[in-house]
Amino acid sequence: METKKICYKCLLEELDAGRILESVKEMIDAIPQDNRTGSEEYRRRLNICKDCDSLISGTCVKCGCYVELRAAGKNRGCPDVNDKWKVG
């Protein structure tokens, strides 16, 4: 089976939704385990994003990131001035 490389130079309009999700998952898988958010914290972050007005089609309009990718980075934060992912 042929392995396709991620196309970093493609526009979203050139990718189908399934391919975008596949690309995001590949990028998450490429994050070293030490730098990856644990599954419980990952789900907590995404649940906050789902209730946030800044989430549009999987993208955070505050930073332009795919939230599933941003949330997967252990040391990444929510870009909102109030950091909605902050605990406590």
CB-count exposure of residue 51 (10 Å: 0-12, 13-18, 19+): exposed
Of positions 20, 24, 28, 55, contacts ligand SF4 by CB under 6 A? 55
Tell me: does residue 52 bind ligand SF4 (CB under 6 A): yes
Of positions 42, 54, 58, 73, contacts ligand SF4 by CB under 6 A? 54
Which are the contacts of 75, defined by CB distance < 8 A and separation ≥ 6?
A: 35
Give the number of C-alpha atoms closer than 13 A to the C-alpha of residue 38, restricted to the C-beta side: 2
In terms of CB distance, is 3 or 39 closer to ligand SF4? 39
Among residue numbers 64 through 83, which ones bind ligand SF4 (CB under 6 A)?
Answer: 67, 78-80
